[in-house]
Amino acid sequence: MLYSEKVIEWIKDYFAKNGPTCNAIIGISGGTDSSVVAALLVKTLGKERVIGVLMPCGEQHDIDVSKELVQLLGIKHLIINIKEPVETLKAEIESKVGKDPNLIDAYKTNTPARIRMTTLYGISALYNGRVANTCNLSEDYVGYSTKFGDAAGDFSPISAFTKTEVRIIGRELGLPDKFVEKIPEDGMSGKSDEEKLGFSYEVLDKYIRTGEISDENTKKRIDYLHKINLHKLLPMPAYKKEN
């Protein structure tokens, strides 16, 4: 059975148990992951039950790719610009605590991601929805996601698959190469994922699946990122009351 067929069956089962009449709400970035998940949802639920949300933060240089995807899939979509709430929150926080140049990059990336997820849940409440998580195994393994941002969601169709495998699913679904092979980027830093990580997804995916890696320094970096970011994947630690 193809990867895509297995995931489609899983999505069917999820909605049968957790919302037989619910819609799927998905943030559309135009990247490989959201494109593949959107295509899986349309294949599973039909285009009438999938709502895509485009969330630029001001000007988004590649938003036309997102628009092409929702047109290709024929799904209802909303465009909600999050720049104003991001800037308002940033100004309010800085007015109270000042600016910390050591944290500015993390803030610029993580805050928009969390406001995007807030937006998705707001829309989900209005459209009787379930929010799709679009993270893949490669990103999760090294913590390349924002806690309570893109790492959140109600169901996660591709988190068991590496970036390489997600591309395979995209090809199985017949998505055009422009969506399947798009260079991954966060849309905020001006750098690709691989430039920020310091290694390629090809190297990372091989290491995840086989344990094989040729460069010892890269291995150490991957292991380090995996260790310090496990808190994003594990349940929240909670104090247990003793009798």
pLDDT in tens, 100-146: 766 667 777 899 999 999 999 999 999 999 999 999 999 999 999 99
- pLDDT at residue 190 tops 80: no
> Residue 83: is its pLDDT beyond 80?
yes
Confidence of residue 15 (pLDDT cuts 50, 70, 90): very high
Overall average pLDDT of the 20-33 stretch: 96
Q: Give whole-number Cα distances, 115 to 11, 56, 122, 125, 126, in Å.
A: 26, 11, 10, 15, 17
Residue type, 135: C
Query: Taking Cα atoms as reference points, which of 139, 133, 144 lies closest to residue 110?
Result: 144
pLDDT of 98 > 90? The answer is no
CATH class of 3-232: alpha beta
Task: Enumerate the domain spans of the chain.
Answer: 3-232
First to last CA, the chain: 50
State the pLDDT at residue 85.
95
How far is the C-alpha of 53 from the C-alpha of 70, rounded, in Å? 9
DSSP H stretches of helix in 185-232:
193-197, 201-210, 216-228
Tens digits of residue pLDDT in 155-180: 999 999 999 999 999 999 999 999 99
pTM (2 d.p.):
0.93
- Cβ proximity of 170 and 180 under 8 Å: yes
φ, ψ of residue 230 to 5 degrees: the values are -60, -25
